[in-house]
Amino acid sequence: MNNSYIHKKTKALQFPSLLFVMLLLISSCETDDAQTVATFTDLVIADEFDTEGAPNSSIWTYDIGRGPNGDGWGNQELQYYTDRTENVKVENGFLLITAKEESFEGATYTSARLKTQGLFEQKYGRFEARIRLPYGKGLWPAFWLLGNDCDQNIWPQCGEIDVMEYLGDSPTKVFGSVHGPGYSAGEAETKEYSLPNDRFDTGFHVFGIEWGPEYINYYVDGNLYNQITPDDVSGEWVFDHPFYIIMNVAVGGSFPGSPNEETTFPQTMLVDYVRVYKNNRLN
């Protein structure tokens, strides 16, 4: 693995407040009828990944395996998720989620999927992470939220908020989406963000949302590029209850397709920090 990422990190916020930037940019944002949003300034949880070894067990747990039905988590993904240090660890101030090509428990790839389910869940707020993404056909990293009632209200009724999804063979683009009843999978409400004159696999970028009653705003490096409201979705708005965080690197599946002969392994998603803020009037 290329160790060029190892450096002394500056833990101060890398970008201005998302809300402040949003107010500056809102007049030029491509979305129409932008909402008046709350100010999310109260830091609720932050993982700066400063302790070597396994991720903080008071924040993170894991999904293990090929999915509840053994079908690649409903997406025909090819990896087996583990909690092994080969696939997930904290090192030099970063969380590393590594996809490997290897035979393991009947799968041909391994990776990791971390989640805060049962440990941290929140309704509304600002959720952000600073990440460097991997590269290669068939890689599908994501930073996303899932409704905490999915055991009772089966997906997509519980709701899904994709803060960032990325296809490894399109290194200049990410997607921000929501899934709910009537607008899920290929019918999700989504928008693409293209990085000008740069790539997401060569440096770190901050991906975030600001989520309040009847709106979710999407940002890359403080740039507001998407807003989703109840008027934008073709079904029920289900984003009014707590959600938990998921971070993973999938391999293959219905969205990215399979790796090809040019995809090299291992491939690692590096996470500098994860931070969540709230507004006490809303939370």
Exposure on the CB side of residue 121, measured as CA atoms within 13 A: 15
Token pair belonging to 127: 């959720």
- Residue 187: phi and psi, rounded to 5, are -105, 15
C-beta of residue 129 within 8 angstroms of C-beta of residue 271: yes
Measure the CA–CA gap between 40 and 159, rounded to whole angstroms.
22
Token pair, residue 88, equals 């997930």
**Helical (H) or strand (E) element with 21:** helix 18-25
122: DSSP letter = B
Give how far Cα 202 sits from Cα of 63, 143, 198, 199, Å.
Answer: 28, 18, 8, 6
Sheet holding 113-115, edge to edge: 61-63, 113-115, 243-251, 139-147, 160-165, 173-179, 189-194
Cα distance between residue 28 and residue 24, in whole Å: 9
Asked whether the CA dihedral 250, 253, 256, 261 is positive or negative, the reply is: positive
Residues catalogued as catalytic: 160, 165
Let me know: does 190 contact 176? Beta carbons within 8 Å: yes
Q: Which two tokens stand for residue 111?
A: 């990776």
In angstroms, the CA 130 to CA 122 distance is 20
